[in-house]
């Protein structure tokens, strides 16, 4: 049994997308992005009070990178992973974890724009710095994707899922304008059924009610 604890538009989208690409049976428990994640029951599954939490084989996992690696090892025939000894293993690991490099800047901007309710607490300087750092990540991806359809020459993998979901979040704060290869790649992967199945469904509370959040001016 696989049960995913998920909040719409958060990092747990990565795991939801991957599970859909793997084509394995699973259940989803949707949580609000609120204090319920600090309940004793949830903290037993994810001690930092964050999603995803994945119940699998009688145990619980947290951290998207670890979950991704484990699921790809558990289902090696899916082509989502690159096993030990595979010539693309090193690059696969690099890009799997680059997703968090992107996401840390989106998380800082999410805090600034959404989680801080008092304008006096917001910092235009932090907003500008973090948005600029996202553009640095975009530049790295643009360079990687020159002449490639996916992050790895061997085709679509969980690396595209992890980074693709990070870009889904980051696009709320930094546009892809001017990054042609990155834009084409994102359009390609976001058309996949697995991605579409990971999007919020009607009636779910959104983390990002607005499609874009410009730098706030004091």
pLDDT digits (tens, 9 = 90+) for 129-175: 999 999 999 999 999 999 999 999 999 999 999 999 999 999 999 99
Quote the mean pLDDT of the chain.
96
Looking at the fold, whether 68 and 17 belong to one and the same domain comes out as yes
DSSP per-residue letters across 3-72: EEEE-TTSTHHHHHHHHHHHT---EEEE--SSGGGGSHHHHHH-TTS-S-EEEETTEEEE-HHHHHHHHH
Residue 218 has pLDDT above 70, yes or no: no
| DSSP letters spanning 137-155 | HHHHHHHHTTT-SSSSTT-
Q: What angle do CA 147, 153, 158 make, to 5 degrees?
A: 115
Instruction: Give the model's pLDDT for residue 171.
Output: 98
Q: What is the number of domains present in the chain?
A: 2
**Residue 106's CATH number:** 1.20.1050.10
CA-closest candidate to residue 106, choices 204, 13, 218, 202: 13
**What is the structure's pLDDT at 33?**
85
Q: Is residue 19's pLDDT more than 70?
A: yes
Indicate the pLDDT class of residue 201, thresholds 50, 70 and 90.
very high
- Residue given tokens 């001690």 in the structure block: 47
Task: Determine, yes or no, domain membership for 214.
Answer: no
pTM for the model: 0.96
**68 near 15, Cβ under 8 Å?**
yes
Task: Give the mean model confidence (pLDDT) for residues 90-107.
Answer: 98
Domain containing 122 equals 89-192
- pLDDT bucket at 118, cuts 50 / 70 / 90: confident
Are residues 73 and 93 both part of a single domain? no
Residue 38 located in a structural domain: yes
């Amino acid at each position: 049994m696989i049960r995913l604890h998920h909040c719409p538009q958060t990092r747990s989208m990565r795991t939801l997308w991957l599970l859909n690409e793997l084509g394995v049976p699973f259940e989803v428990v949707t949580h609000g992005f609120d204090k319920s994640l600090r309940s004793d029951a949830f903290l037993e599954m994810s001690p930092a009070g964050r999603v995803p939490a994945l119940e699998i084989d009688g145990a619980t996992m947290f951290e998207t990178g670890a979950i991704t690696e484990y699921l790809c090892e558990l289902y090696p025939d899916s082509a989502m992973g690159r096993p030990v000894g595979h010539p693309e293993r090193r690059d696969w690991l690099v890009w799997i974890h680059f997703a968090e490099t992107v996401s840390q800047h989106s998380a800082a901007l999410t805090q600034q724009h959404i989680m801080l309710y008092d304008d006096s607490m917001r910092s235009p300087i932090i907003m500008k710095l973090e948005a600029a750092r996202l553009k640095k990540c975009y530049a790295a991806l643009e360079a990687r994707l020159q002449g490639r359809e996916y992050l790895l020459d061997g085709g679509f993998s969980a690396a595209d899922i992890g980074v693709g979901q990070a870009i889904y979040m980051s696009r709320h704060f930094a546009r892809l304008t001017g990054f042609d290869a990155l834009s084409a790649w994102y359009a390609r992967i976001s058309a996949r059924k697995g991605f579409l199945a990971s999007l919020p469904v009607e009636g779910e509370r959104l983390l990002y009610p607005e499609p874009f959040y410009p730098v706030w001016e004091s």
